[in-house]
């Protein structure tokens, strides 16, 4: 996770990044990704795993507040790329936990619209590593 590709960041710290999915299942769909390149989440060091879940929990709480969703779903599929990533997905029904529902690539402006209020909530909670609004 060297930051070579453009991404809309929510959180960036020494252990992980939380970014918005460019193909979201629902608006605000985020990925929490460890910086260490570990293929399967079952192979993560305990401290890294615990940190990822703390960040995913904070992102899920922010999604619930920002989007008014019934649930913040969490999925770790692992087949798309050989690098662990947690999907945190605002959900209003179980039907939304289907990856084939993913939207076509979103523009940077659309992603920023979803990111800005989530960052504000994350910052208010005191989560370390919340990125500054790029605008």
Looking up residue 79, the CATH number of its domain turns out to be 3.30.428.10
pLDDT at 2 over 90: no
pLDDT for residue 104: 87
* Residue 4 belongs to a domain: no
Give backbone dihedrals phi and psi of 112, rounded to 5 degrees, phi first.
-65, -35
pLDDT for residue 1: 45
Cβ(44)–Cβ(38) below 8 Å: yes
CA separation for the pair 113, 120 (Å, rounded): 12
Cβ(62)–Cβ(88) below 8 Å: no
* Residue 25 belongs to a domain: yes
* Residue 132 belongs to a domain: no
Q: 36-62, pLDDT tens digit by residue?
A: 999 999 999 999 999 999 999 999 999
In this prediction, residues 103-117 reach a mean pLDDT of 93
pLDDT at 127 over 90: yes
User: For 1-135, where are the E strands, in sequence order?
Assistant: 9-12, 16-20, 30-34, 71-75, 86-91
pTM of the model: 0.92
Looking at the structure of the chain, the number of domains it has is 1
* Residue 21 belongs to a domain: yes
* Residue 87 belongs to a domain: yes
């Amino acid at each position: 996770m060297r930051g070579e590709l453009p991404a809309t960041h929510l959180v960036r710290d020494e252990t992980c990044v939380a970014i918005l999915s460019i193909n979201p299942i629902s608006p605000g769909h985020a990925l929490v990704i460890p910086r260490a390149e570990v293929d399967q989440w079952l192979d993560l060091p305990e401290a890294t795993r615990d940190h990822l879940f703390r960040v995913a929990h904070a992102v899920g709480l922010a999604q619930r507040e920002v989007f008014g969703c019934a649930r913040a779903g969490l999925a770790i599929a692992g087949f798309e790329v050989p690098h662990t990533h947690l999907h945190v997905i605002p959900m209003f029904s179980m039907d939304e936990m289907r990856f084939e529902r993913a939207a076509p690539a979103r523009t940077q402006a659309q992603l920023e619209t979803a990111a800005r209020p989530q960052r504000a909530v994350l910052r208010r909670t005191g989560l370390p590593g919340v990125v500054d609004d790029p605008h």
